[in-house]
């Protein structure tokens, strides 16, 4: 099994050379963070991911979590790795300084999430969920709630979860049944069952803070009647110490296809004490803080699985001998040529490389946009950043996870039969990747969010914000002969994107089901064009560096990968456009009774 090697050089390339991290921080007035500090953090996190997490990835998958009467035990090495993670101060990076955090922008930690996730996605889910609970309480909690929960969440001493899904409802939260009954002291008693709760119970921390959706007795029906509650595993005393065990208990853990070392729990709330967070019946609005955080976190997962597939497949393709090159032997002294010389193996390797590196650029840009949402100097700038982030989030979550899953499958294929065998790690990568297109909103739900809420409901305003960025880049490089192969197709697709959106909007006015029929193809089209923009930006920087005589192999590889993306992957947009034009009727004409076997 190939050991993970953190791609620190490429991370620095994206942050510093493509996205201008130092200038970004200066524009936001962030004086305490700079590129040098981020680089130091990358080196520190890379060692942790490579030396502590990667070695327990396969063993964690094989051992899995164990369940015994409500108690969940994580695999060997997980608890020790978590302790080291806390000792390094990594959980505290993004927390507010007033509660013991380092108050660093989200972009400073996104690469660390990528490294821990690629090395061991199951392990990385535990601290990742705590960050979402922290952000929700920080934004919507009372001062007392912040004082009670933030210090321990920030330090990593306590973990967090979000509890949404119930046995009878998945993404349709409007029909959830968990109820919250008011108590005389201002608290609530929660009754109900939640399922698919990642990290709902484990042995890594002393306390787990559940962020729970439930209904008040007089709540209106549907999503307008949902409230949000803090439900700790252990009640926290006034002095901050842990008190009585709250009656919220893990009823079982799921036996899953992948991410087996991440506990996915059924959680039973049997009169558990909870505390209202935010206004009554406005819980879903507050929960979106957690959900949006989680969606970006899941977008990270797509990049992780693409990177893991690329690293594993590349190592194997260089060593594995099979057949001769069609153009003549490339390893004449051996019995066969290494499979990396064969065009189809190159196709798969370059696809995983293009998705991993292009996804990294999109992901880091999204994180930097998130910085501006919180820290931009004017309300106008913060609002503009928020609209852009809202547009990019469903693309990042859905497109990058679909690309990550495709890449994971390519990783298996490069290995051939060996890819189907556990010891190489590629089949685990596929199993772990499969969930990414499902949780935090399936690809279809993200597509409806993108096309329906973010594009059509804004009359295309959110789309135009991004396409203007693309247009500006293309204008600036219109006379650069070396960029012609990237700029010309990007200009055409940028225009087509707008025209296609208008056509979908016109059909949706006649019948809203037309939007649903087009949504997934629209999202994938949008993802390919968005990634093309970032590959064009990377190609531009690489060409300039080559002209200056810098790191020829690294920068030349960037240009060649960009060329591959534009010539062999970007044309997929044409099939998605044709599928959209295929319309609604062919999907809906068949009667339900005709779906027979």
Which active-site residues does the annotation give?
440
> What torsion do the CA atoms of 554, 559, 564, 566 make, to the nearest 10 degrees?
150
Q: Which H helix or E strand runs over 214?
A: strand 207-214
DSSP code per residue over 415-467: HGGGGGSGGGSHHHHHHHHHGGGTTTS-HHHHHHIIIIIIIITTTTHHHHHHH
Q: Which pair of structure tokens corresponds to residue 591?
A: 């009667």
End-to-end CA distance of the chain: 42
State CA 34 to chain mean position distance.
24
**Tokens 């199951």 belong to which residue?**
122
Please tell me the distance from the alpha carbon of residue 352 to that of residue 429, in angstroms, as a whole number.
13
Please state whether beta strands 158-163 and 207-214 pair in parallel, antiparallel, or not at all (unpaired): parallel
Q: Which pair of structure tokens corresponds to residue 404?
A: 């990550």
DSSP code per residue over 287-343: HHHHHHHHHHHHHHHHHHHHHHHHHHHHHHHHH-B-S--TTS-SSTTSSS-BGGGSH
Spatial CA neighbour of 81 closest among 110, 109, 59: 59
Phi, psi of 375 (to 5 degrees): -125, 0
Indicate the angle between helix axes 107-119 and 35-48, nearest 10 degrees: 20
DSSP code per residue over 3-71: PP---HHHHHIIIIIIS-HHHHHHHTT--S--HHHHHHHHHHHHHHIIIIIGGGHHHHHHH--EEETTE
């Amino acid at each position: 099994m190939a050991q993970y090697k953190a791609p620190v050089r490429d991370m620095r390339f994206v942050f510093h050379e493509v996205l201008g991290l130092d200038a970004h921080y200066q524009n936001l007035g962030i004086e305490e963070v700079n590129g040098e500090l981020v680089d130091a953090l990358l080196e520190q996190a890379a060692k942790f991911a490579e030396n502590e997490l990667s070695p327990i990835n396969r063993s964690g998958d094989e051992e899995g979590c164990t369940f015994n009467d409500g108690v969940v035990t994580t695999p060997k090495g997980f608890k020790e790795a978590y302790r080291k993670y806390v000792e390094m101060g990594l959980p505290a990076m993004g927390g507010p300084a007033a509660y013991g955090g380092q108050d660093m922008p989200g972009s400073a930690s996104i690469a660390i999430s990528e490294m821990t996730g690629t090395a061991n996605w199951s392990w990385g889910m535990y601290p990742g969920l705590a960050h979402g609970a922290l952000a929700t309480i920080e934004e919507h909690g009372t001062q007392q709630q912040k004082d009670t929960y933030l210090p321990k969440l920030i330090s990593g001493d306590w973990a967090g979860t979000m509890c949404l899904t119930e046995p009878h409802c998945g993404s349709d939260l409007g029909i959830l049944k968990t109820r919250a009954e008011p108590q005389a002291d201002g608290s609530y008693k929660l009754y109900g069952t939640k399922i698919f709760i990642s990290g709902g119970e484990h042995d890594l921390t002393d306390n787990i803070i559940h962020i729970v959706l439930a209904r008040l007795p007089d709540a209106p029906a549907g999503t307008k009647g949902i409230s949000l509650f803090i439900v700790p595993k252990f009640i926290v005393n006034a002095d901050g110490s842990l008190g009585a065990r709250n009656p919220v208990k893990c009823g079982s853990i799921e036996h899953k296809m992948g991410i087996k070392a991440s506990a996915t729990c059924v959680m039973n709330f049997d009169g558990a004490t909870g505390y209202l967070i935010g206004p009554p019946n406005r819980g879903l609005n507050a929960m979106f803080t957690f959900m949006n955080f989680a969606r970006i976190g899941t977008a990270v997962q797509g990049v992780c699985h693409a990177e893991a597939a690329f690293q594993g497949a590349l190592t194997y393709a260089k060593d594995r001998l099979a057949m001769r090159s069609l153009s003549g032997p490339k390893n004449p002294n051996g019995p066969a040529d290494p499979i990396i010389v064969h065009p189809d193996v190159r196709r798969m390797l370059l696809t995983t490389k293009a998705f991993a590196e292009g996804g990294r650029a999109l992901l880091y840009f999204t994180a930097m946009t998130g910085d501006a949402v919180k820290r931009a100097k004017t309300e106008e700038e913060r609002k503009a950043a928020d609209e852009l982030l809202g547009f990019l989030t469903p693309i990042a979550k859905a497109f990058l996870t679909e690309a990550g899953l495709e890449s994971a499958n390519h990783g298996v294929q490069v290995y051939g039969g060996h890819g189907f065998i556990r010891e190489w790690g590629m089949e685990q990568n596929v199993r772990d990747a499969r969930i990414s297109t499902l949780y935090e909103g399936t690809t279809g739900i993200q597509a409806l969010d993108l096309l329906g809420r973010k594009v059509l409901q804004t009359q295309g305003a959110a789309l135009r914000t991004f396409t203007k960025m693309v247009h500006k880049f293309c204008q600036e490089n219109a006379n650069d002969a070396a960029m012609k192969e990237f700029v010309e197709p990007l200009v055409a697709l940028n225009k087509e994107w707008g025209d296609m959106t208008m056509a979908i909007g016109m059909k949706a006015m006649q019948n809203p089901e037309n939007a649903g029929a087009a949504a997934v193809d629209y999202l994938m089209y949008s993802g390919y064009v968005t990634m093309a923009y970032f590959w064009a930006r990377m190609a531009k920087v690489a060409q300039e560096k080559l002209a200056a005589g810098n790191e020829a192999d690294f920068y030349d590889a960037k240009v060649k990968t960009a060329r591959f993306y534009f010539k062999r992957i970007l044309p997929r947009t044409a099939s998605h456009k044709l599928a959209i034009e295929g319309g609604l009727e062919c999907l809906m004409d068949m009667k339900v009774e005709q779906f027979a076997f």
